[in-house]
Amino acid sequence: MIDIFIPKKYCQDIFHINYKKLKENDYKLIIFDLDNTIGSIKENSCSQKNKEFLNSLKSDFKIIIVSNSGKKRVSNFLKDVQCDYFYFSLKPTLRVLRTIKKKYKIDYKEMVVVGDQIVTDVFWGNRKNVLTILVDPIKNIDFKVTTFNRKLERFINKKNNIKRGNYYEEK
């Protein structure tokens, strides 16, 4: 087993996460990955459904979007979404995660990372003991750089006996 790559929870998508339970457990800040977590790489802007959903979470959590994509991609996608974001974050390096901790004066144990990739999102959060929630990718289309990560992810999932579609709350 390669524990650092095992998400604490695995849900179908961002809509199937138990946010009530997260609030009850004193989580205060949720970091969402952008591409294939909130929107597909083919979408240029956030859907109305996702905008409303993200806005509904703001009464209970600070919402931040973190992406390895560039500024133009992230700012255009989120132009109608009122939340903070970080672009070109170089996940899984810890620079942005440390920045978030310092900027928002919040402990890692009060954060949640939600993303579709084991290698970037889950590994990134687990390195600082942040609660990690894996979701299925919205589409099976990825940026070219992500295709290598997906191959590595399949190897890691096999070693950890994680099968896409076998959702769980705690591992």
What is the Cα–Cα distance from 43 to 129, expressed in whole angstroms?
Answer: 31
Please give the model's pTM, rounded to 2 decimal places.
0.89
| N-to-C CA span, the chain | 12
* 49-92 per-position pLDDT tens digit: 999 999 999 999 999 999 999 999 999 999 989 999 999 999 99
Where along the chain do its domains lie? 3-160
CA distance 162 to 160: 5
Lowest mean pLDDT among 21-30, 35-44, 80-89, 139-148: 139-148
Where would I find the beta strands (DSSP E) of the chain?
9-11, 29-33, 62-66, 84-86, 111-115, 131-135
In the structure, what pLDDT confidence band is assigned to residue 2 with cuts at 50, 70 and 90?
Answer: confident
| Residue 101: partners with Cβ closer than 8 Å, 6 or more residues away | 107, 108, 111
Q: Say which CATH topology domain 3-160 has.
A: Rossmann fold (3.40.50)
Express each pLDDT in 98-138 by its tens digit. 999 999 999 999 999 999 999 899 999 999 999 999 999 99
For 116, what's the count of Cα atoms within 13 Å in the CB-facing half-sphere? Answer: 24
